[in-house]
C-alpha cells in the first residue's frame, strides 16, 4: 500500500514538471511575450519595458527563467500579479472559496440526484422513467451550459423574480440566506451536465452489479430486494464511480468558466479568464500549476479511496 | 413423460414438482424452457438432475426458488412444498421460504460471494434477513457453521474477504450460508463444475456428509454422470426441457431405458486404461523437444522488498514425435496453460530451450518467429470468446493465411474444404460465429488452426466448455484429423478422463513441474507419483479397473 502510493506520487511529480515546462514555454512564446500588456500602456516607453524586463529577469535564457520560477514556486513564492501586485497565492485564495461554494453545492447535487436517477433507471430498465432519464441526459449533455444559464435567468429572474441574476451576494447583505439565494440558480444550472453524466455512468454500473452472481446469491438467501439494492448492488456499483469522482474533483476547485461568467460569480474560472485577458502571466501560470496539482491529487485520492473501500486492493 | 407421476404429497416426499411448464419469451428457439416436468424429491435423499446445456435443469431449480428472471414465467404446473404450492405464491412469501426452508448454492463460487463483504457478514445476513437470533448469537452461529463445513481457523475466516479464499473454500462458505437456518431442502446448481477435481471430490464428500447428518433433501444439478454415480440416490434426466427418464441411481446408470440417457452415458469420457493405437510414425525425429523450460511470474517490486515470485513453469522437459498426442494434465495453477503459451511464444520463457523441428525457437524474436507461426497453431478453450463476432467465418479462416502471403482465392478454397472436413456445411463460410452452437464454433476454431497445415497443434482445454456428447464428437474429429494429417498435438486439459481418450502419452503437471509422464495405462492403472494417485482417485464415479460397473457409493 505505501509502496503503491510512493509509486503514484513519483509519477505525479514527473507529470507536474512536464506540465509546468510546457505551460511555461507556451506562455513565453505568445506574441509580445510576458510584458505585452505593458506595451499597450501609452505611459510606458520602450526603455521602461526594457528596464522592467531586466528587473523581472525576463531577458535571461528561458531555461534559467524556468528554474528560477520553479525554485521559487517550490518555496511558496508563486510570483506577483501584474494587475495589482498582490501575490499569486493571495489572488487564488481570494477566488477559491467562491468556487468551492458553487462547485461543492452543484457536485453534491449532481451526485445525489444523478445516483438516484441512475439506480432507478437500472432497476426499472426500459420503463417510462428510464426513457425520460435517457432523453433528459442527452439533452442536458448536448445543450451548452450558458444557454441553460441564460434561460434560467430569463425565467426565474426576469419573469418570476425568484432568484438574483448573478453575483455571490448582494452588496450590504452577505447573510447566509443571501449567499444561498444567490447560489441556487448557478449551482442547479451547473449540476445539469453533471447529473446527466453521473446518472448515465451510475445506470451502467448498477446494471452491471445487478447481473452479478452474488445478487442472485443474496436473493436465494431470502434477503429483501431493498437490502439487496442498498447493501449489495449500490456498494459494488459505486466502486467504479469513485474513479469518475476523482476525475471530477479538480473542477471543484478550478471552477466553471462559462457558468461563472454567465452568473458573474467571482470564482476561479472568472479569474482565469480575466487574467488571460489582461495577460497576467504569473497568475495564469499559477492557475495552471494549481489545476495540474489538483488533477493529480484528485486521481491519487480516488485511488486511495478505492483502495480503502475495496478489500481486494486494500489487503493485497 | 417418461414415467408415470408418483403419488403426490406422500409422507416421505419433501418437494414435489408436477407438470411444471415454464415458457420462454416469444422469439426464442423453443417455446418452453421446461415442459410438463414432474418429479419428487424424497426426504433425506439426493436427487440428481442431469442434462446438457439448454436442458432446462437450471430453469427448474430457479423456478422452485422463485428466482426466474421476469421474462421467463411458470405457465402451468405445481411445485408442492410442505403442502403449499409455490407457483403463484407472493414474492414476500417466497422470500420468506428462501434461505429458511429451501437454500441454494451455485456453480461459480468466485462470483457468488459479494467481494465487499466479509465471509462472516454474508453468513449472518441469512439469519438477519429472516429475523433469527441476535447479532451475538448470529455471530457464534456463523463461526459454528464455518467449523461445520470444515474451514480452517474459523475465527480468522469469519473476518476474511472472499478474494482471499480458494475456490473450494468459497464453495464451503456458500454451503455454510445455505445451512445457516437448517433448511429442509438444499438445491445445488452445478456446485463443483468450476472446481478442480480433487477439490470437487472434497466438496461432494462434504455435501454427502452434511446431507446424511442433517437428513436434508438435496436436489443436485449436474451435467456429469461421474458426479451422479458418486452421490445420487435417484436421478432425473432432462433433455430440451423435458424429463426423459427418472428412477433410482442404480437403475438409470446401469440399465438406462431411454435412448438419450444411453447416448449421454456412452459419451462420458472413460478412463480407458487402455493406450491409444499410435500412428505409424514416418519419422522418428521429434517435432518438438523441450528442455528445462522455465517461466517465473514476478509481481511487485524488488526495490521495496515486496516482490512475489511464482514459478509457473519450472524446468519442464519433454519431446513429441510426429503424429502423436501429448496430454498435459493438471489442476488450476499447475502451469499447464503457461506451458502452452510458452510453446507458441505468447509468453517469453526465462530459460530453457524449445527445439521445433531441430531449431531452438525459445530465443527467437517475434519477427524471427513469425515465419514459423503457421506451423504451430492453437485451439482455444472458449469457442465463444476466441472468434471475432464481427467477422464472417470465411474471414476468420482466411485472414491468417492471407497475411502470410496465400492468395485470397486459394485461401477461400481451402477454407471451404476444411469447413466441410470438420463437419460444417459450406454455407458456414459467409455466416457469423453467433449463428453457430458451441460445438460448431469449436469446429470452426479447429478449421482455423488447420488452415496453415500446421505441424503442431496446441489445444488448450479445447473441449472443456462443451457438453459431453459434443465433447466426444470433437475428440473424435481431432483424432481423425491427426490420423489423416499426421499433425502432432499437445492437449492441455484439467480432465483426466478426456486426456485418456485422445492422448498417447500424458504428462501430469503439479506446481510448474511434470511429476509423472507416461502412457494412459500407466497414469491411470499404475501411477508412480502420489500426486497422480490422488488426482486419479478424485475423479468422480470412476474405478478404473472395474469399468463399466460403477454404481453409487454405498
Please give the ipTM for the structure prediction. Answer: 0.79
Strands B46-50 and B217-222: parallel
Give me the residue from B117, B118, B129 closest to A224, CB to CB: B129
Task: Measure A20 CA to nearest chain B CA, in Å.
Answer: 29
**Lowest-confidence region among B12-21, B232-241, B303-312:** B303-312
Give me the residue from A222, A310, A312 closest to B129, CB to CB: A222
Chain A, 2 to 31: residues with Cβ < 8 Å from chain B are 3, 6-7
* A309 contacts in chain B (CB < 8 Å): 116
Please indicate whether, in this complex, the C-beta atoms of B111 and A223 are within 8 angstroms of each other. Answer: no
Distance between CA atoms of residues B336 and B491, nearest Å: 10
Task: Measure B304 CA to nearest chain A CA, in Å.
Answer: 7
* A217 contacts in chain B (CB < 8 Å): 106, 112-114, 174, 177
Report the share of chain A in percent with pLDDT over 90: 26
Please indicate whether, in this complex, the C-beta atoms of B95 and A224 are within 8 angstroms of each other. Answer: yes
Please indicate whether, in this complex, the C-beta atoms of B125 and A310 are within 8 angstroms of each other. Answer: no
Considering the domain delimited by B1-101+185-191+210-223+234-268, tell me its CATH architecture: 3-Layer(aba) Sandwich (3.40)
Please indicate whether, in this complex, the C-beta atoms of B115 and A222 are within 8 angstroms of each other. Answer: no
Say whether B452 sits in a helix, a strand or coil. Answer: coil
Residues spanned by CATH 3.40.50.300 within chain B?
1-101+185-191+210-223+234-268, 288-552
Strand-pairing partners, residue B79, are B17
Q: What pLDDT digit, counting tens, does each position of A211-267 carry? A: 899 999 999 999 999 999 999 999 999 988 888 888 877 776 776 788 888 888 888
Question: Which residues are within 8 A (CB) of B284 and not within 5 positions of it... i.e. 6 or more apart?
Answer: B321
* B177 contacts in chain A (CB < 8 Å): 217, 221
Among A88-92, B4-8, B122-126, the range with the most confident prediction by mean pLDDT is B122-126
Q: How many residues does this entry show for chain B?
A: 554
Please indicate whether, in this complex, the C-beta atoms of A221 and B111 are within 8 angstroms of each other. Answer: no
A160 interface with B at CB cutoff 8 Å: no
Q: Which has the higher per-residue pLDDT, A46 or B392? A: B392
Q: What is the mean pLDDT of residues B142-148?
A: 94
pLDDT at residue B4, rounded to an integer = 41
Under a CB-based contact definition with an 8 Å cutoff, are residues A133 and A121 in contact?
A: yes
pLDDT at residue B273, rounded to an integer = 67
Q: How many residues does this entry show for chain A?
A: 316
Distance between CA atoms of residues A42 and A19, nearest Å: 35
Rounded to the nearest 10 degrees, what angle do helices A281-309 and A88-123 cross at? 40
Chain A, 189 to 218: residues with Cβ < 8 Å from chain B are 212-214, 216-218
Report the share of chain B in percent with pLDDT over 90: 48
Please indicate whether, in this complex, the C-beta atoms of A221 and B115 are within 8 angstroms of each other. Answer: no
Query: Per-residue confidence at B304, pLDDT binned at 50, 70, 90?
Result: low
| Long-range contacts of residues A153-160, Cβ cutoff 8 Å, at least 24 apart | A153/A185, A153/A262, A153/A263, A156/A185, A157/A185
Under a CB-based contact definition with an 8 Å cutoff, are residues A265 and A61 in contact?
A: no
CATH superfamily of B288-552: P-loop containing nucleotide triphosphate hydrolases (3.40.50.300)
Please indicate whether, in this complex, the C-beta atoms of A223 and B129 are within 8 angstroms of each other. Answer: yes
Q: What pLDDT digit, counting tens, does each position of B173-191 carry? A: 999 999 999 999 999 999 9
Task: Measure B125 CA to nearest chain A CA, in Å.
Answer: 7
Q: What are the structural domain ranges in chain A?
A: 1-75, 95-272
In the sheet that holds B32-42, the strands lie side by side as: B32-42, B13-23, B73-81, B84-85
A316 interface with B at CB cutoff 8 Å: yes
Distance between CA atoms of residues B307 and B299, nearest Å: 6
pLDDT at residue A72, rounded to an integer = 87
Q: What pLDDT digit, counting tens, does each position of B48-94 carry? A: 999 888 888 989 999 999 888 888 889 999 999 988 899 888 889 99
pLDDT at B214 over 80: yes
Q: What pLDDT digit, counting tens, does each position of B475-525 carry? A: 999 999 998 888 999 999 988 888 888 899 999 999 899 999 999 888 888
Under a CB-based contact definition with an 8 Å cutoff, are residues B151 and B120 in contact?
A: no
Query: Per-residue confidence at B552, pLDDT binned at 50, 70, 90?
Result: very low
Query: Per-residue confidence at B6, pLDDT binned at 50, 70, 90?
Result: very low
pLDDT at B278 over 70: no
> Mind giving me the DSSP string for A70-101?
HHHHHTT---B-TTT--BHHHHHHHHHHHHHH
Pick the CATH number of A95-272 from 3.40.50.300, 1.10.3720.10, 3.10.440.10, 3.20.20.70: 1.10.3720.10
Query: Per-residue confidence at B145, pLDDT binned at 50, 70, 90?
Result: very high
Under a CB-based contact definition with an 8 Å cutoff, are residues B471 and B267 in contact?
A: yes
Please indicate whether, in this complex, the C-beta atoms of A213 and B111 are within 8 angstroms of each other. Answer: yes
| Phi, psi for residue B334 in degrees, rounded to 5 | -80, -10
Say whether A125 sits in a helix, a strand or coil. Answer: coil
> Mind giving me the DSSP string for B478-526?
HHHHHHHH--EEEEEES-HHHHHHH-SEEEEEETTEEEEEE-HHHHHHS
* B65 contacts in chain A (CB < 8 Å): 219-220
pLDDT at B396 over 70: yes
Helices in chain A by DSSP H: which ranges?
2-29, 36-39, 46-56, 62-74, 88-123, 128-142, 145-152, 176-210, 213-221, 225-227, 234-254, 257-262, 268-277, 281-309, 311-314
Extended beta strands in B264-307, E state: 288-299
Q: What pLDDT digit, counting tens, does each position of A163-221 carry? A: 888 888 887 777 888 888 889 999 999 899 889 999 999 999 999 999 899 999 999 99
pTM of the entire structure?
0.81
Question: Which residues are within 8 A (CB) of B166 and not within 5 positions of it... i.e. 6 or more apart?
Answer: B199
Which residue in A21, A22, A23 sits closest to A276, CA to CA? A23
Which residue is closest to B179 within chain A, CA to CA?
Answer: A221
Under a CB-based contact definition with an 8 Å cutoff, are residues B462 and B327 in contact?
A: no
Q: What is the mean pLDDT of residues B365-382?
A: 88
* B114 contacts in chain A (CB < 8 Å): 214, 217-218, 232, 235-236
**Lowest-confidence region among A35-39, B242-246, B531-535:** A35-39
Question: Which residues are within 8 A (CB) of B214 and not within 5 positions of it... i.e. 6 or more apart?
Answer: B179, B182
Strands B234-239 and B46-50: parallel
* B117 contacts in chain A (CB < 8 Å): 231-232
Strands B234-239 and B217-222: unpaired
Which residue in B111, B166, B120, B109 sits closest to B147, CA to CA? B120
Please indicate whether, in this complex, the C-beta atoms of B129 and A220 are within 8 angstroms of each other. Answer: no
> Mind giving me the DSSP string for A194-252?
HHHHHHHHHHHHHHHHHTSHHHHHHHHHT--HHHIIIIIIHHHHHHHHHHHHHHHHHHH
Amino acid at each position: 500500500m505505501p509502496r503503491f502510493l510512493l509509486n503514484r506520487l513519483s509519477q505525479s511529480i514527473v507529470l507536474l514538471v512536464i506540465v509546468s515546462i510546457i505551460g511555461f514555454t507556451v506562455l513565453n512564446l505568445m506574441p509580445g511575450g510576458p510584458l505585452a500588456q505593458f506595451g499597450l500602456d501609452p505611459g510606458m516607453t520602450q526603455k521602461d519595458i526594457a528596464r522592467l524586463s531586466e528587473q523581472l529577469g525576463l531577458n535571461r535564457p528561458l531555461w534559467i527563467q524556468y528554474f528560477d520560477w520553479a525554485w521559487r514556486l517550490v518555496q511558496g513564492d508563486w510570483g506577483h500579479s501584474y494587475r495589482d501586485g498582490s501575490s499569486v497565492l493571495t489572488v487564488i485564495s481570494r477566488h477559491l472559496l467562491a468556487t468551492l461554494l458553487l462547485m461543492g453545492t452543484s457536485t453534491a447535487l449532481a451526485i445525489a440526484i444523478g445516483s438516484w436517477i441512475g439506480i432507478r433507471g437500472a432497476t426499472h430498465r426500459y420503463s417510462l422513467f428510464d426513457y425520460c432519464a435517457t432523453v433528459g441526459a442527452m439533452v442536458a449533455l448536448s445543450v451548452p451550459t450558458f444557454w441553460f444559464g441564460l434561460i434560467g435567468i430569463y425565467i426565474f429572474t426576469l419573469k418570476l423574480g425568484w432568484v438574483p441574476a448573478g453575483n455571490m451576494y448582494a452588496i450590504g447583505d452577505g447573510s447566509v440566506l443571501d449567499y444561498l439565494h444567490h447560489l441556487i440558480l448557478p449551482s442547479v444550472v451547473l449540476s445539469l451536465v453533471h447529473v446527466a453524466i453521473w446518472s448515465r455512468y451510475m445506470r451502467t454500473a448498477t446494471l452491471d452489479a445487478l447481473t452479478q452472481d452474488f445478487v442472485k446469491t443474496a436473493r436465494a438467501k431470502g434477503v429483501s430486494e431493498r437490502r439487496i439494492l442498498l447493501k449489495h448492488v449500490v456498494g459494488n456499483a459505486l466502486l467504479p464511480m469513485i474513479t469518475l469522482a476523482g476525475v471530477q474533483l479538480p473542477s471543484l476547485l478550478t471552477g466553471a468558466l462559462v457558468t461563472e461568467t454567465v452568473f458573474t460569480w467571482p470564482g476561479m474560472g472568472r479569474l482565469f479568464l480575466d487574467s488571460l485577458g489582461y495577460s497576467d502571466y504569473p497568475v495564469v501560470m499559477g492557475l495552471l500549476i494549481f489545476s495540474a496539482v489538483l488533477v493529480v491529487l484528485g486521481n491519487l485520492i480516488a485511488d486511495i479511496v478505492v483502495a480503502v473501500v475495496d478489500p481486494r486492493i486494500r489487503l493485497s | 413423460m417418461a414415467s408415470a407421476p408418483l403419488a403426490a404429497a406422500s409422507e416421505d416426499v419433501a418437494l414435489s414438482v408436477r407438470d411444471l411448464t415454464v415458457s420462454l419469451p416469444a422469439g426464442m428457439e423453443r417455446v418452453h424452457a421446461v415442459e410438463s416436468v414432474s418429479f419428487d424429491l424424497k426426504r433425506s435423499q439426493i436427487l440428481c438432475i442431469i442434462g446438457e446445456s439448454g436442458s432446462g435443469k437450471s430453469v427448474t431449480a430457479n423456478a422452485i426458488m422463485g428466482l426466474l428472471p421476469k421474462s421467463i414465467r411458470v405457465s402451468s404446473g405445481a411445485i408442492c412444498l410442505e403442502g403449499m404450492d409455490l407457483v403463484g405464491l407472493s414474492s414476500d412469501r417466497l422470500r420468506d421460504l428462501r434461505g429458511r426452508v429451501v437454500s441454494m448454492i451455485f456453480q461459480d463460487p468466485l462470483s457468488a460471494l459479494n467481494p465487499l463483504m466479509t465471509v462472516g457478514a454474508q453468513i449472518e445476513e441469512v439469519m438477519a434477513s429472516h429475523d433469527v437470533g441476535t447479532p451475538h448469537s448470529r455471530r457464534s452461529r456463523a463461526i459454528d457453521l464455518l467449523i461445520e463445513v470444515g474451514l480452517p481457523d474459523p475465527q480468522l475466516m469469519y473476518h476474511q474477504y472472499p478474494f482471499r479464499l480458494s475456490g473450494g473454500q468459497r464453495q464451503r462458505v456458500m454451503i455454510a450460508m445455505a445451512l445457516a437456518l437448517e433448511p429442509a431442502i438444499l438445491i445445488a446448481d452445478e456446485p463443483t463444475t468450476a472446481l478442480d477435481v480433487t477439490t470437487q471430490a472434497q466438496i461432494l464428500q462434504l455435501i454427502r456428509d452434511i446431507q446424511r447428518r442433517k437428513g436434508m433433501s438435496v436436489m443436485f444439478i449436474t451435467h456429469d454422470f461421474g458426479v451422479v454415480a458418486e452421490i445420487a440416490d435417484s436421478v432425473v434426466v432432462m433433455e430440451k426441457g423435458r424429463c426423459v427418464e427418472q428412477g433410482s441411481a442404480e437403475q438409470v446408470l446401469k440399465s438406462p431405458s431411454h435412448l438419450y440417457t444411453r447416448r449421454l452415458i456412452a459419451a462420458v469420457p472413460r478412463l480407458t486404461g487402455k493406450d491409444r493405437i499410435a500412428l505409424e510414425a514416418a519419422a522418428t525425429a521429434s517435432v518438438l523437444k523441450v528442455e528445462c523450460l522455465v517461466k517465473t511470474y514476478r509481481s511487485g517490486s524488488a526495490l521495496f522488498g515486496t516482490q512475489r515470485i511464482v514459478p509457473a513453469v519450472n524446468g519442464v522437459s519433454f519431446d513429441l514425435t510426429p503424429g502423436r498426442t501429448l496430454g498435459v494434465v493438471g489442476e488450476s495453477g499447475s502451469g499447464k496453460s503457461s506451458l502452452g503459451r510458452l510453446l507458441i511464444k505468447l509468453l517469453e520463457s526465462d530459460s530453457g530451450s524449445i527445439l521445433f523441428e531441430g531449431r531452438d525457437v525459445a530465443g527467437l524474436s517475434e519477427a524471427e518467429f513469425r515465419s514459423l507461426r503457421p506451423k504451430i497453431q492453437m485451439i482455444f478453450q472458449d469457442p465463444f470468446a476466441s472468434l471475432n463476432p464481427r467477422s464472417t467465418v470465411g474471414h476468420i479462416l482466411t485472414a491468417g493465411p492471407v497475411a502470410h502471403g496465400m492468395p485470397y482465392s486459394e485461401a477461400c478454397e481451402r477454407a471451404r474444404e476444411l469447413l466441410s472436413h470438420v463437419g460444417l456445411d459450406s454455407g458456414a463460410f459467409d455466416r457469423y460465429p453467433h449463428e453457430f452452437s458451441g460445438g460448431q464454433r469449436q469446429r470452426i476454431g479447429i478449421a482455423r488452426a488447420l488452415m496453415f497445415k500446421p505441424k503442431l497443434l496446441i489445444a488448450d482445454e479445447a473441449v472443456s466448455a462443451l457438453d459431453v456428447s459434443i465433447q466426444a464428437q470433437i475428440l473424435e474429429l481431432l483424432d481423425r484429423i491427426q490420423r489423416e494429417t499426421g499433425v502432432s498435438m499437445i492437449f492441455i486439459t484439467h480432465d483426466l478422463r478426456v486426456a485418456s481418450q485422445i492422448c498417447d502419452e500424458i504428462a501430469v503437471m503439479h506446481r510448474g513441474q511434470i511429476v509423472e509422464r507416461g502412457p494412459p495405462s500407466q497414469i491411470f492403472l499404475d501411477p508412480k507419483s502420489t500426486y497422480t494417485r490422488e488426482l486419479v482417485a478424485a475423479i468422480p464415479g470412476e474405478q478404473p479397473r472395474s469399468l463399466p460397473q460403477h454404481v453409487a457409493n454405498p
